[in-house]
Amino acid sequence: MSKTSHFAPAVNQAAPLCSTPVISVTALAGVPAWVRHTLGDRAQRTASKAAMLDIEVIEDEDCFIPHRTMTTYLDAVARNAGAQDLGLLLTPGLSLDRYGCWGRYALAAPTLGAAVERARATVAFHSKGDAVALDARAGRARVSYVSAARGLPGYRHVACGSAAVIVSLCRAFLSESWRPQAIELDIAAPRRGERFEEIFGCPVRFDASRVSVWLDTQQLHERPADRPPPPLITVEDLARARIDCRRLQRVTDIVAQQVWAQVQGGAVSIDSAAASLATSVRSLQRALNREGTDFRSLANALRGRRAIELLSRTDASVAQVAATLGYSVPAHFARAFRKATGLGPTEFRRRRSVARHGTLPSAPHLPRSEELEDRLDATDETLAPGDRVRGRTVPKG
């Protein structure tokens, strides 16, 4: 196990790895910028080191991270800043509209009640393990959020953030000045509970069973006023943009989500993946071996898939693509890409352009992306000797 940070999660073998809860990294959208602006670059770097993932680089991407990575990041920020109520400080800047396609789908509903129902029915596109609920009785309605992060260090910041996001959803249909009847938080009462009431503008109760926001039942029927027509978005659009987390049943599925986030962030690390799952590197490798794969092969396939995307859909140079994927030497990337696809990066890009625009009808057949990915899945030499991946150098020989 890497000792990169003293904030790294402790090993815990109590639960099977395949049950590890994950959440869209968009749940942290805007937080790194706040940390950098308010607390400084050092605080942001320290928190990223603790989480063993550069959240700032991927915060707007449709990828998933373990809840533990999220809480570790927030806990590190709070510890370094001496801010026990970090979540409360973040509250004004948190909003559902930063939650990517899932947030947009909920906010595109015709009424507040319909928006809550959309969030409830599709929460699996935002998280594995979280739940949204709506209860209405005796003229009062309660919108609740249950997070799988509860019990982890740093959860108190998540609880405050969850309440803030529910409030932002309500205000999108009511008004920016709207205040809840009451808020309930499933965290222990702080020394200064009045600060919470000042920020939220309503009574706040602690030690609840879940995070809840109370409002008048009639307000569930409210439609947004003075808002331009929302973009047309369906649950099918949501399904195309994100995976349904209920499908993540194997250890390989969970690890693949973490590795994809690492690939997007430009640094792949088995130490980070193991820490985020609260296990050891050896235990993680054994779990993957039992499912017929290993971390290296999984990482290579996903890096290769990202390489295909960047070469096909951007004008970035081969050197830029190599650096983005964590290669210290572009030639190592080119050699690995050629071994996996049969083409060098430049030739691949040229033939892809030809296949798309038809400028050279006689050009040789270019394998489909799916075929290339199959080849990438079959190779384990994407990391060339001497390449550094999150502080580790691939050994030679």
- Say how far apart CA 312 and CA 366 lie, in whole Å: 12
> Three-class SS of residue 274?
helix
In this predicted structure, what is the pLDDT of residue 372?
42
- Kindly tell me the number of DSSP H helices and DSSP E strands found in the chain: 18, 10
Question: If you write DSSP's letter for every residue of 340-391 in order, what string do you get?
Answer: HHSS-HHHHHHHHHHHHH-S-TTPPPPPPHHHHHHHHHH----S-TT-EETT
- Say how far apart CA 297 and CA 285 lie, in whole Å: 11
| Secondary-structure breakdown of the chain: helix, strand, coil percentages, each rounded to the nearest 5 | 55, 10, 35
- Strand 204-205 relative to strand 182-184, pairing: parallel
- Say how far apart CA 289 and CA 281 lie, in whole Å: 12
Residue type, 300: N
Tokens 């569930």 sit on residue: 220
Whether the CB-CB separation of 285 and 294 falls below 8 Å is answered with yes
In this predicted structure, what is the pLDDT of residue 9?
37
In this predicted structure, what is the pLDDT of residue 378?
42
In this predicted structure, what is the pLDDT of residue 355?
63
Instruction: Please name which of 65, 59, 52 lies closest in space to residue 36, comparing C-alpha atoms.
Output: 59
Whether the CB-CB separation of 111 and 223 falls below 8 Å is answered with yes
Q: Is the dihedral of CA 119, 163, 44, 76 positive or negative?
A: negative
Long-range contacts of the stretch 378-381 (C-beta < 8 A, 24+): 379/300, 379/304, 379/336, 379/339, 379/340, 380/294, 380/296, 380/297, 380/300, 381/300, 381/336, 381/339
How crowded is the C-beta side of 6, counted as CA atoms within 13 Å? 2
How crowded is the C-beta side of 346, counted as CA atoms within 13 Å? 4
Residues in the chain: 397
Q: How confident is the prediction along the chain (397 residues), in pLDDT tens digits per residue?
A: 333 333 333 334 446 899 999 999 999 999 999 999 999 999 999 999 999 999 999 998 889 999 999 999 999 999 988 888 999 999 999 999 999 999 999 999 999 999 999 999 999 999 999 999 999 999 999 999 999 999 999 999 999 999 999 999 999 999 999 999 999 999 999 988 899 999 999 999 999 999 999 999 999 999 987 778 888 899 999 999 999 999 999 999 999 999 999 998 888 999 999 999 999 999 999 999 999 999 999 998 898 899 999 999 999 999 999 998 888 889 999 988 888 788 999 999 888 876 665 443 332 233 343 444 444 444 333 333 334 333 343 333 3
Six token digits for residue 390: 């999150």
Whether the CB-CB separation of 184 and 193 falls below 8 Å is answered with no
Instruction: Please name which of 168, 15, 12 lies closest in space to residue 90, comparing C-alpha atoms.
Output: 168
Residue type, 120: R
Residue 191: phi, psi to the nearest 5?
-65, -35
- Say how far apart CA 23 and CA 305 lie, in whole Å: 22
- Say how far apart CA 153 and CA 114 lie, in whole Å: 34
> Three-class SS of residue 3?
coil
In this predicted structure, what is the pLDDT of residue 100?
94
> Three-class SS of residue 187?
coil
- Say how far apart CA 193 and CA 187 lie, in whole Å: 11
